[in-house]
Amino acid sequence: MALEVGIVGLPNVGKSTIFNALTAAGALAANYPFATIEPNVGVVAVPDERLAIINQFQETEKIVPAALRVVDIAGIVRGASTGEGLGNKFLSHIREVDAILHVVRCFAGGDIIHVENSVDSVRDVETIDTELALADLETVSSVLDKSERLARSGDKEAAAKAELLRRCKMALDDVKPVRSLDLNPDDKKLVKTLGLITAKKVLYVANVDENDLTGEGPLVQKLRERAKSEGGTVVPVCGKLEAELAELPEADRKEMLAGMGLKEPALAKLAREAYQLLGLQSFFTSGPKEIRAWTIPIGATAPQAAGVIHTDFERGFIRAEVYTLDDLQKFKTEPAIKSAGKMRAEGKSYIMQDGDIVHFLFNI
Give the pLDDT confidence of 210-237 residue by residue, as tens digits: 999 999 999 999 999 999 988 889 999 9
pLDDT bracket for residue 304 (50, 70, 90): very high
Report, as an integer, the average pLDDT of 38-44. Answer: 78
pLDDT at 181: 92
Q: Which residues contact 172 (CB under 8 A, 6 or more apart)?
A: 133, 134, 136, 137, 140, 178, 198
Torsion sign (Cα): 305, 310, 311, 313: negative
As a whole number of angstroms, the distance between CA 239 and CA 234 comes to 15
- Terminal Cα-to-Cα distance of the chain (whole angstroms): 23
- For 55, 95, 194, 356, the CA distances from 147, given in Å and listed in that order, are 56, 21, 13, 45
Amino acid identity, position 147:
S
Phi and psi torsions of 359, nearest 5°: -115, 130
Could you tell me if 179 and 187 are in contact, meaning their C-beta atoms sit under 8 angstroms apart?
A: no
Q: What's the pTM?
A: 0.84
At residue 266, the pLDDT reads 92
The domain made up of 299-362 has a fold known as: Ubiquitin-like (UB roll) (3.10.20)
Cα-Cα-Cα-Cα dihedral sign, residues 139, 190, 38, 204: positive
- H helices within 264-354, ranges in order? 266-277, 302-309, 311-315, 325-331, 334-339
Model pLDDT for residues 1-27, shown as the tens digit of each residue: 568 899 999 888 988 889 888 886 333
Q: Where in the chain is the domain with CATH 3.40.50.300?
A: 4-277
The answer to whether residue 120 scores a pLDDT higher than 60 is: yes
Please enumerate in sequence order all residues whose Cβ is within 8 A of that of 326, keeping only pairs 6 or more positions apart, or say none.
none
3-class state of residue 362 by DSSP: strand
* Topology given in CATH for the domain delimited by 4-277: Rossmann fold (3.40.50)
Average per-residue pLDDT for the chain: 88
The contacts found for 328-334 with CB under 8 angstroms, 24 or more apart, are 328/53, 328/54, 328/57, 328/357, 329/53, 329/57, 332/57, 333/57
Residue 31 is predicted with a pLDDT of 32
Q: Distance between CA 337 and CA 326 in Å, rounded?
A: 10
Our separate counts of H helices and E strands in the chain read 14, 12
The boundaries of every CATH 3.10.20.30 domain in the chain are 299-362
Lowest mean pLDDT among 91-95, 98-102, 233-237, 289-293: 91-95
